[in-house]
Structure 1
Amino acid sequence: MGQLLIKNARVVNQNAQTECDILLENDYIQRIDSSINAVNTEVIDVKGKYVLPGMIDDQVHFREPGLTQKGTIATESRAALAGGITSYMEQPNTVPQTTTIDKLEEKFGIAANTSFANYSFLFGGTNDNLEELKKLDKNACSGVKLFLGSSTGNMLVDDVEVIEKIFRNTEMVISAHCEDEGTIKRNLEHYKAQYGNDIPVQYHPLIRSAEACYLSSSQAIALAKKTGARLHVFHVSTGKETQLFRNDIPLKEKKITAEVCIHHLWFSKVDYKTKGNLIKWNPAIKTAEDRAQLWDALLDDRIDVVATDHAPHTLEEKQNVYTKAPSGGPLVQHALPALLNKYREGKIPLEKIVEKTSHNPAILFQINKRGFIREGYFADLTVVDTNDPWQVGKKNIHYKCGWSPFEGEVFNARVTHTFVNGHLAYENGVFSERRNAKRLTFDRQ
């Protein structure tokens, strides 16, 4: 690809802001300096804009293979570029499920041919694939995923002995969806007795309750402490759960970490009245008090990562009655603009956004040469204009499903450029048709 020079960048990196130029060569950041002059080099002047490390989304559902009416690796990774996401980790609840090494490598093959952003996948643990999991090389993929509560794809792992064996038999990060299935079933039957299948969606956070979340996550954390496993709790949704995590040691020393998703930071239960099933997620969006406590835990470092849990469904599916409407929604294009709105409101510093969306995922999953703006690192960069308002609408949504829970929302900031391994993959609404994505690699000794 040769060289490309980014001039007049306001770089946000490692808890500091720096005015500088960035010289890219082929896939990498070659040089960072206060002023760089390069001959016969393409120059992109980003004066007045911020340059951030590309966001690393540790939890997405891109639906391929088998559920491609909702989305594909190509369509959703392309949408991710418009949201400043340059790398993602995709989940195993596809059709077929990613629960064997062969199926894992098949997904890597699809991504190698079609992905617009850097990629890895999580290997799904089940009640009966422990021996296959033991064969998995610890650097093969981003980690292991356990559904300790049922969700899309019916990959529930509920055999306590098997769960403990999984915790004892992998060195990889175990990412867990934590909701207690027994509690959820009892709550669901209670409301079905009153409403049948057409339960008002505002009862969703009472069915997938705070108690169900806390019971499951606290048990998983207790087991991680008992076994010494490396546990990462996905999409924490309650204030009570935040008390389970530490902020008194550096991230590199943590054995138990936590993630929060953008929808749990943005919406609350009052939004079910207007959004309905469009904001039906598992775990459920809960109270404004829960949301406030999630923000507190994010800002004081009990919660380590912000992700999307991007999980598209067709609008037709979402319009079903409660018990038939799937949980999940599309978010990769709009998560960073939503966080930047919160920056404008004074809720979170830019440096903290970068830490939670880029630095920490790279540290937590031990990703090679990504997540930071450093010489010698891959040139995954996002340029944002924090003073360019725009409204989310059908004409500017890039998800295959064609809708967003943020429709009608005005964001104050937009992603103007996204670089993937030094290649300008997205610029002011225009996507490059050239793919320069790579399989994420890991440094786990």
Structure 2
Amino acid sequence: MSNQTLIKNAKIVNEGSIFEGDILIENEIIKEVDTSISVKSADVKVIDAEGNYVFPGMIDDQVHFREPGLTHKATIETESKAAIAGGITSFIEMPNTNPQTTTVKKLDEKFAIAAKSSYANYSFMFGGTNDNLGEILKVDPKSVAGLKLFLGSSTGNMLVDDPEVLEKIFSSTDMVISVHCEDEATIRKNLAKYKEQYGDDIPMELHPVIRSEEACYLSSSKAIELAKKTGARLHVFHLSTAKETELFTNKIPLKDKKITAEVCIHHLWFTDEDYKTKGSRIKWNPAVKTAEDRDGLWKALLDGRIDVIATDHAPHTIEEKDNSYTSAPSGGPLVQHAFVALLEAYHKGKISLEQIVQKAAHNPAILFNVEKRGYIKEGYYADLVIADLNSPWTVNKENILYKCGWSPFEGNTFKSRITHTFVNGHLAYNNFKVLDVKAGKRLTFDR
């Protein structure tokens, strides 16, 4: 027997427009989208979304959920719960776990964990190293999101710093190659200078001086040069400087781009002024930089040079973060608050609702060739988010769902709240409550 849910009277945000209408979900799929849908059966669950907006669920192309091996910080189960509470219905997780996802065997083990425990849809990046080209070539491009290379700031042995290996990888795979770009030599030199001056107690506000604009630009421009030379499909993660945005184009449609870019919530929200009050809570790699950089990132996002918004969700415990500069790890939790932070930017007139959907749902689906997700369309999976844009709430310890128990947004009041999240047609989150529905499925790719 089919299971049906009808969302009535919604303001539907999809493909560049907003229209009032209804959405009929049957089992896992969107069966019908129309201005008015009536159903005969009494078994249909009806949700009246009067006055509220329905969005396609966000597809977050960069998260670190820490499993296996670092599960004191987070697990796929805990962080996928936080993700659906935050309107993220699909995620792509990174390979720098312990052990690292640099063999097909370890990749399969991760998929097995997610199949049992994920509340959201999932895929993983396969990790490249200086010596695993053989394993990279075994990966089926239809079954994973892509390849991740650390060209700076990696954990373990994942720094790919051999130019010959790098060129071989770029030349050998058709997968999307996603890169973290910061030049290690530049960073090491800057760090040594300030360590000599301050020891381990370097002031946190020097983080963007150590992990500088120069370090970012040098690395991303080199990666782009190599992609142009080899014809590789390159995606540059978490841009943090206005200068880097000059390396990208808005002259061609996303589906035809060979070189694309992402920006993360924290680089759109915080600036170097915030280190005074937030300290290590906003210590990320690449670093949060100047207000001018933030403005430049917004400009490039809105004019199409930056294609995707993501989180780079990377939780650490508060005890780990509360160390001196050299010991405090970089990264912070974001999946639960990313969508409402974007809605806050909408309230401030920085971005339209249609643009949020384009950058956080449609474009990740296009960029990674995700099948039947990222849109509100008949025949697509029903990954849907209902939001009330005028229902303020404040982030506090009681409502934070991350395993690490803190957020850089603590104390912040958001105007909008997510009221419902559907994952594959199942209501998985309802008004501050994650329901016990592990409806996440493995993402598939049309390649």
TM-score by length of 1: 0.99
Aligned to 1:27: 28
Displacement of 1:35: 1.0
Q: 1:430 aligns with which of 414, 429, 433?
A: 433
Q: 2:185 aligns with which of 179, 182, 185?
A: 182
Aligned amino acid, residue 368 of structure 2: F
Aligned to 1:150: 153
SS at match of 1:5: strand
Aligned amino acid, residue 390 of structure 1: W
Q: Deviations over 1:172-207 (max 9, x none)?
A: 100000000100000000000001111111000011
SS at match of 2:421: strand
Contact 1:151 1:282 in 2 (8 A): no
> Is residue 84 of structure 1 aligned with residue 87 of structure 2?
yes
Aligned to 1:338: 341
Aligned amino acid, residue 407 of structure 1: E
Aligned to 2:443: 440
Map 1:218-367 → 2, pairs under 5 A: 218-367=221-370
Gaps of 5+ in 1: none
> Is residue 134 of structure 1 aligned with residue 137 of structure 2?
yes
Aligned amino acid, residue 382 of structure 2: A
Contact 1:53 1:382 in 2 (8 A): yes
Aligned to 2:15: 14
Q: Deviations over 1:63-116 (max 9, x none)?
A: 000000000000000000110000000000000000000100100000000000
Displacement of 1:152: 4.0
Cα 1:386–1:152, aligned 2, differ >3 Å: closer, same or farther? farther
Provide the rounded CA distance (Å) in 2 between the counterparts of 1:436 and 1:408: 31
Provide the rounded CA distance (Å) in 1 between the counterparts of 2:163 and 2:419: 48
Contact 1:54 1:85 in 2 (8 A): yes
CA RMSD, Structure 1 to Structure 2 (Å): 0.7
Provide the rounded CA distance (Å) in 2 between the counterparts of 1:234 and 1:79: 22
Provide the rounded CA distance (Å) in 1 between the counterparts of 2:65 and 2:185: 29
Aligned length in residues = 444
SS at match of 2:23: strand
Aligned to 1:49: 52
Contact 1:308 1:331 in 2 (8 A): yes
Aligned amino acid, residue 35 of structure 2: S
Percent of aligned pairs sharing the same letter: 69
Aligned to 2:72: 69
Contact 2:129 2:157 in 1 (8 A): no
Map 1:194-233 → 2, pairs under 5 A: 194-233=197-236
SS at match of 2:354: helix
Contact 1:389 1:414 in 2 (8 A): yes
Tell which deviates more after alignment, 33-42 or 294-303: 33-42
Contact 1:10 1:51 in 2 (8 A): yes
TM-score by length of 2: 0.99
